[in-house]
Structure 1
Amino acid sequence: MKNLHEAILLLLYCWTGGVRGVNSRPGRIVNGHEAHEGEFPYQISLRRQMIHICGASVLEDSWALTAAHCVEGYEEEPKLFTLRLGSIQRSSGGSILEVRNIYRHPMYDPEDMNFDLALLRTAANAVRSVPNVSPIRLPEASELVPENTEAIVSGWGHMSTDEQILSPVLKYTTVMTVNQEKCQADLSEHGGITDAMFCAAARNTDACQGDSGGPISVNETLIGIVSWGVGCADPYYPGVYTRLSYPPIRRWIRLMTKL
C-alpha cells in the first residue's frame, strides 16, 4: 500500500482532515437518507477550529473514537478540537465538548493506513449530561461479522460529487460487508488491505470525504471506522474500514479505556 496514500495525505493537509480515501471524489454519504433527531445517538461531529473535519463515535462518558488520519500531526494540540454531540445538525444543536487528550494507535502507519484509529478523551463524565447521546457497543476481540452482512454508515460528508459542500444534516446508508479475499483482489492495484481492515460496499451508495472517522455499525455494534477508499461509490472498489474486533486494536482500546 506504499504510494497509495500520498494522494490521501495531500488532500488531508490541503483541505480539513476529513478525507476518506485515495483519489476520493468529493461526495456525501452518497445517495443516503437524512437521519431523524434521536437516531444515531453515538454519532459525533469532530471539529478542528470549529470546522467539521471528520466523524467520531461515543464510546463512554469521557471517550470517543475516530480515525487516526483525522488527527494526525495534532496529538499535542487537543485544544484545537471539539466534539458536537446530541444533534443531527452539523452546525447547531446538541452540545460542544472540548477534547482534552488525543491518542493515536501506536501502530498507525500513514503510508498504508494500517491501524487507522485514535481515541479522544473529554473531561470526566462530560458526555453523561448531554441529551440524546448514548455510547455504542464495541465488538469483542475476534468477533466475526460474516460477509454480505448489512451495515449502517453515517456522516456529514460533502453534498455532491462536484462541490465541496458538507451536508448540514446527518445522513446514513446501508452497505454490505465484502469477502476479505475479494476485497484484497479488488484493491490489489492500490496496495490491498490488511487484517486490521475490512471492506463494505453497495451499488451507488458509499461514505466519502467528511465521513472519515465515523461509524459503521451492525445491530448497534460499532464494527468499524470509515478509513479510506478509491473514489466514492465506485462500483469497482469497496470502501475500507478499520476493523475494531481485530485483537491488537480491541486490546489497545480496552487498555486505554477499560472498555
Structure 2
Amino acid sequence: MRRPFVRVLALAAAAAAIPLVSSATPAAADVVIGGYPAEISKSPWTVALSSRDLFGGTRAGQFCGGVVVGRSTVLTAAHCLSEAVLGAPPERIRDLKVIAGRGDLLSTAGQEIPVRSVWVNPDYDSYTNAGDFAVLTLASSLPESSVIPMAAAGDPAYQPGTEAVVYGWGDITGAGDYARSLHAARVTVMADAVCEEAYPGNTDGTYKSASMVCAGERAGGRDACQGDSGGPLVAQGKVIGLVSWGTGCGLAGSPGVYTRVSYIVRTVS
C-alpha cells in the first residue's frame, strides 16, 4: 500500500540521519518504477525540493519534486509540506530550497534557490487526498525556458489513452532504492471510471475526478513511487498532473493518482 509519495519522518530530529520510506510497502519487481534516466536539459521544468537540515546531504536533501510553471513559481504536492513530513510548518524550515537544472543530485550543476513563500491549498483533504497541491514562490527567477505550460480544462492532453511521462528522483524499484539522478516513466492517461473503480474510498484515499487524474498501465509496471511526490506528469508538452498518491507502486489495477492541473488553474485563477 502507498499513501502520498514522500519519505515520511518518524521524528524530525532523526531525519538528518536516515530518512524513512513511507510505512507503505511497494510490491512491484520491475517498477520513477519501470522508468529510464532522463536528461534535465530536456525537462528543465522538473525540480527537486530540498532541505539538508531535515533530510541530510546524501541526496542533496531531496524529499519531493516540483514543476516550474512561472519564472518564480513552482507547483508541488500539499502533502510534501505537511508537518507530518517536515516536522514543522513550512515557513519554519529555514533551508527549504528548490534545486533546478540539476539531474544528478550530487553534482554542482544548476541552482539551489531559496523558497521565499509557500501557499498550501486550504481545501486539501488529507483523508481523500483531494486538492493535493501547493504553490512555492522562489527568491529569484528562473529563465523562461524552464517554464512549462499548464493544461487547462478541456485540453486534449487529458483524454484517456494519451501518452504521458512522469518525472522524479524517487524509488526506482519499489524497494526503497532512491534515484540519485532524474528518472522518467512513460504512462497512459486513464479514464476516470478506471480510477473510480480502483479507489472507491478506503484508507488510501478516494478518487475524485474534479481534482484528480489517473495514469499508469493496466498491467502495471510503470508508475511514480515514494519520493516522487509533487513531480510533474507531462503530456503533449504541458503539465497535466502532480504526483500525489495510490496503492503500491506499479501494481496492476492500481494506477497512480495525480492532482489534476486544470483544477489548480481553476483554484488559483
RMSD: 2.8
Alignment pair present for 1:177 and 2:189: yes
What is aligned with 2:207? 193
Alignment correspondent of 1:165:
177
Give CA-to-partner distance per residue, 1:201-243, whole Å, 9 cap, x none. Answer: 1231110001010000111100010000100000121110000
CA distance in 1, matches of 2:5, 2:32: 21
Matches within 5 A, 1:1-259: 12-14=8-10, 23-25=24-26, 29-49=32-52, 50-73=60-83, 74-92=89-107, 93-124=109-140, 126-128=141-143, 134-144=146-156, 145-162=158-175, 164-188=176-200, 190=202, 191-194=205-208, 195-202=210-217, 203-246=220-263, 249-254=264-269
* Consecutive unaligned residues in structure 2, runs of 5 or more: 53-59, 84-88
Looking at structure 2, the residues matched to 149 and 135 of structure 1 have their Cα atoms a distance apart, in angstroms, of: 22
Identify if the C-alpha distance between structure 1 residues 19 and 251 changes in structure 2 by more than 3 Å, giving closer, same or farther: farther
In 1, the alpha carbon distance for the partners of 2:258 and 2:34 equals 19
Check whether the contact 1:47–1:81 (CA below 8 A) recurs between aligned residues: yes
Q: Is this contact kept in 2: 1:78–1:101, CA < 8 A? A: no
Cα distance in 1, alignment partners of residues 135 and 40 from structure 2 = 26
Unaligned runs of 5+ in 1: 255-259
| Aligned counterparts of 1:10 and 1:30: Cα–Cα separation in 2 | 15
Distance verdict in 2 for CA 1:8–1:168, change over 3 Å: closer
The number of residues matched between the two structures is 242
Q: Percent identity?
A: 30
1:100 to 1:78, Cα distance in 2 relative to 1, 3 A? farther
Determine the C-alpha separation between the residues in 2 that align with 1:180 and 1:75.
33
CA contact (8 A) 2:129 2:206 kept: no
What is the rounded CA distance, in whole Å, between the counterparts of 1:106 and 1:24 in structure 2? 29
The structural deviation recorded for 1:108 is 0.7
Post-superposition offset of 1:36: 2.4
